[in-house]
Amino acid sequence: MSETQTPTGEPGAASDDAPSTATAAANASPARATGRRSFLPRLTLLRHLLILVVGAALAVLLLESTELNTNIKLGNVAYLAVAAGGLTLLTGLSGQISLGHGALMAVGAYTTALMLDVERGDEPPSLFLVFLAAIAATTVVGALVGVAAARLHGPYLAGATLALAVGIPGLALYFSDTLGGEQGITVRPPERPEWFDNAVEQLSGASGRGLNDKWVAYIAVACLLVTYFFLANLMRSRMGRTWRAVRDQEVAAELAGISLGSWRVLAFVVSAAAAGLAGAVLAIVVQLAAPGSFLPVLSLSLLTAVVIGGLGSLTGALLGSALLVFLPPWLIDIGRDVFDMEEAQASQASFVVYGLLLVVTMLFAPAGLVGTVRLALLRRRAARATAAAGGR
């Protein structure tokens, strides 16, 4: 018989939406928001809409107040965050790990690249169609992987998806005639509409050659906002609750008639769709789809973003993705200026930091950045409530 091995825990320190013992997979956003919101889900939707609008306004402000260089970086943050958002749903909500999201991004990126190949002379399809196709293709692959993954757990799932991450780039080499081999496929930049130039000129007065990069950055950020709006609603919905039940209460969920397998597959599919879109955006941001962009280390970086931000939290995934983009240049500068290293070598410092962050997060704050802060707030609120109750 296994009784719990940890005596002494603080009773009732946290409310039910944040577990008192923090585990990696126990940091999802609250299922049942307290009081008012619970019986009026429409308010949640409205709140998310409000956040969406505010987010859009902030994004315009950010993109217009920063230089082109930063614009491009924000585009990078956007596609990483889209993929990390999908991974957050999968790992944080459904409790499955994936080291193959980089490979799924490759599927989206190559689909995009095939449709927007510079060497194709014909009129390119609309970007919307391209993105849809990329999402569709990745969803199909994701469903296949998901069916296998639904029956695996923990280390088995990690190993299988790691094999996917190692295997998929190889396909690009094997089918080098269509997929361009090591060099990959160069992607044609999307046409930007005239109104965009005018609008930007009105806003910040920017014009000229850099506008194309700016347009791409806007597309990337728009994709991010739409994806997060969708994911946030999904996570708060009845479906989100079901996923949490599948993760935390396997037996109870099964007794309640929930098919664990299908819900796990569904989580993988939704998550893969996000990765596909992320890959598509990556393809137009860097204007290239090549196997070198999708090495296992990409998948591991995504995992880093999700874990250190806080598993299950979209805000955490966004913060983590920002770290992935803004940390390396800073470290490279240090490596070059202080230690006199070459850039390629100095760039490795960021991986050391990612790895150590993963370890340290798991050892000291398994709920991640956002989760730890939220947990601390909840504890304080609970303590205050207890004090108030006792004072009466």
Partner 1 sequence: MEQFLSLTLGGVVSGSVYAAFALALVLIWRSTRIVNFAQGSMAAATTFIAVAVIDAGGSYWLALVVALLSGLVMGALIERVVIRPVEGGPELNAVIVTLGLFVAIQGIVALVAGVDERAFVPPFSKVGYEVREGFTLLSLSPNSIWTVAAVLVTMLALTALFRFTRVGLAMRASAFGQEVARLLGVRVGRMLTLGWALAAAVGALAGMLIAGDVSFVGPTFMDTLIVFGFVAAVLGGLDSPIGAVVGGLLLGLALNYVRGYLDDSLLGMASLVILVVVLLVRPGGLFSTTAARRA
Partner 2 sequence: MAEPHGSTASGQGAPAGAGTGGGTATASALLEVQGLTTSYGPVRALDGVSLRAEAGRITAVLGANGAGKTTLLRTISGLVRPTSGQVLLDGQDITRAPVEAMVHKGMAHVPEGRGVIAELTVDENLRVGSLFRGKVGREEFDRVYDLFPRIAERRENPAHTLSGGERQMLVIGRALLARPRVLLLDEPSLGLAPRIVAQIFGLVRQLVDSENLSVLLVEQNARSALSVADTGVVLNLGRVVVTDDARTLAADEDLRHAYLGF
Give me the residues that bind partner 2 (CB under 8 A), please.
1, 3-9, 11-12
CB 209 → partner 1: shortest distance, Å? 32
- 165/221 with CB nearer partner 1: 165
Distances (CA, A) of 354 to 16, 312, 337: 31, 19, 21
Helix and strand element counts for the chain (H, E): 16, 2
Comparing C-alpha atoms, which of 319, 314, 310, 315 is closest to residue 367?
310
CB 157 within 8 A of CB 98: yes
Residues 297-316: x where in contact with partner 1 by CB under 8 A, - otherwise, as a string? x--x--xx--x---------
Q: Which option in partner 2, partner 1, none does residue 1 bind, with CB closer than 5 to 8 A by kind?
A: partner 2
Considering only 57, 333, 342, 384, the residue that binds partner 1 (CB under 8 A) is 342
| Residues in the chain, overall count | 392
Q: Where are the beta strands (DSSP E) in the chain?
A: 185-186, 288-289
- 1/363 with CB nearer partner 2: 1
CB 7 → partner 2: shortest distance, Å? 5
Helix (H) or strand (E) holding 392, with range, is none
Q: What are the φ/ψ torsions at residue 25 (nearest 5 degrees)? A: -100, 20
Give the tokens for residue 126.
Answer: 């609309």
Quick one: 353 exposed, middle or buried, by C-beta within 10 A (0-12, 13-18, 19+)?
middle
Q: Which option in partner 1, partner 2, none does residue 217 bind, with CB closer than 5 to 8 A by kind?
A: none
Residues 91-130: x where in contact with partner 1 by CB under 8 A, - otherwise, as a string? x---x-x-x-------------------------------
Q: How far apart are CA 284 and CA 208, in angstroms?
A: 19
Assess 230 for contact with partner 1 (CB under 8 A).
no
Considering only 51, 148, 211, 239, the residue that binds partner 1 (CB under 8 A) is 148
Q: How far apart are CA 198 and CA 218, in angstroms?
A: 15
- Under DSSP, the state recorded for 150 is T
Q: Which option in partner 2, partner 1, none does residue 251 bind, with CB closer than 5 to 8 A by kind?
A: none
Q: Which option in partner 1, partner 2, none does residue 215 bind, with CB closer than 5 to 8 A by kind?
A: none
Q: Which residues bind partner 1 (CB under 8 A)?
A: 5, 23-25, 91, 95, 97, 99, 148, 151-156, 158-160, 162-164, 166-171, 173-174, 295-297, 300, 303-304, 307, 335, 341-342, 344-346, 348-359, 361-363, 366
